[in-house]
């Protein structure tokens, strides 16, 4: 016999409470994921060759959110809200590889390298960047191969570019002469950045206005984060081959490598 104060829950009520707890647990998990992806880091996939050879088509990036502060752009990429000022904000350094919301459609996440900071004077002459009237260092580094979105390869000249502060990175030039090789001097406005792709002849960046499909001067408030590492990579050209060969497209040498 049960003691008088023993309680037996009705089965329907027990099931309701079980469902409510499960839903609450799921909500908590989703909130934790959103907070982590907003405040700490988020992975991104590279669909184009505009940052080759630094980033390849099929790379999976990890970008940290905290280096430049937080705003509506910091939210997970499936959440699109009007732009807001940043708090705990700081400017990138020249040479940082950044992910940002494209000013032409903030649901799109793009990746480029920071070349100019607010107040900098930027120009290009025959493909060579000048910052505040001084040409950046450039040194030939042999040949490479650039990949386009359908997996085709094309020869590219490699160069090592050195920005102020002795930050070096490798760039590609696909042709000797390109319409974007010469850009008259522009002054980066307050609250904006001048960004470029490392594949200089295949990048719609700050050399191209937003109305023409480029980035134009990138508002700092559109920054999402700084690219820290490649966490995985798969050669998309394998999609045109038999499925059983797809594992051979994994680029294990690029897994968990730092991005400079």
Dihedral angle at the C-alpha atoms of 240, 243, 247, 248, nearest 10 degrees?
-50
Of the candidates 50, 74, 203, 206, the residue annotated as catalytic is 50
With a pLDDT cut of 90, the percent of the chain lying above it is: 62
Residue 3's pLDDT band, with cuts at 50, 70 and 90, is very low
Of the candidates 48, 112, 173, 206, the residue annotated as catalytic is 112
Distance from C-alpha of 188 to C-alpha of 199, rounded to nearest angstrom: 22
Measuring CA to CA, how many Å separate 2 from each of 5, 9, 13, 130, 175? 8, 14, 21, 87, 88
pLDDT per residue over 29-45, tens digit each? 444 444 444 444 577 88
Is 123 designated active site?
Answer: no
Under 8 Å between Cβ of 57 and 236: yes
Is 2 designated active site?
Answer: no
Residue 20's pLDDT band, with cuts at 50, 70 and 90, is low
Measuring CA to CA, how many Å separate 99 from each of 20, 105, 180, 204, 224? 38, 14, 22, 14, 5
Distance from C-alpha of 92 to C-alpha of 86, rounded to nearest angstrom: 13
pLDDT per residue over 87-112, tens digit each? 888 999 999 999 999 999 999 999 99
Under 8 Å between Cβ of 140 and 194: no
Which residues contact residue 161 at a Cβ distance below 8 angstroms, ignoring those fewer than 6 apart? 129, 136, 137, 138, 168, 169, 170, 171
- On the question of pLDDT at 27 being above 70, the answer is no
Average pLDDT over residues 168-196: 95
Fold of 11-84+91-258: Umud Fragment, subunit A (2.10.109)
């Amino acid at each position: 016999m049960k003691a008088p104060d023993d309680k037996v829950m009705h089965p329907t009520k027990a099931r309701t409470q079980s469902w409510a707890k499960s839903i609450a647990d799921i909500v908590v998990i989703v909130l934790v994921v959103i907070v982590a992806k907003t405040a700490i880091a988020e992975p991104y996939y590279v669909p184009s060759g505009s940052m080759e050879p630094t980033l390849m088509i099929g790379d999976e990036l990890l970008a940290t959110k905290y280096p430049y502060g937080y705003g509506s752009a910091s939210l997970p990429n499936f959440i699109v809200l009007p732009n807001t000022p940043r708090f705990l904000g700081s400017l990138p350094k020249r040479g940082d590889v950044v992910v940002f919301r494209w000013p032409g459609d903030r649901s799109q996440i793009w990746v480029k390298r920071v070349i100019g900071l607010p107040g900098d004077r930027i120009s290009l002459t025959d493909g060579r960047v000048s910052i505040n009237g001084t040409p950046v260092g450039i040194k030939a580094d042999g040949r490479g191969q650039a990949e386009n979105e359908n997996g085709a390869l094309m020869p590219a000249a490699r160069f090592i570019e050195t920005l102020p502060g002795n930050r070096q990175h490798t760039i590609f030039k696909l042709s000797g002469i390109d319409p974007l090789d010469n850009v008259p001097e522009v002054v980066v406005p307050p609250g904006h950045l001048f960004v470029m792709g490392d594949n200089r002849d295949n990048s719609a960046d700050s050399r191209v206005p937003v109305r023409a499909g480029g980035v134009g001067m990138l508002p700092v408030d559109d920054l999402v984060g700084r690219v820290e590492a490649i966490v995985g990579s798969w050669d998309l050209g394998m999609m045109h081959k038999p499925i059983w060969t797809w594992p051979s497209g994994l680029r294990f040498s690029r897994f968990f490598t730092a991005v400079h």
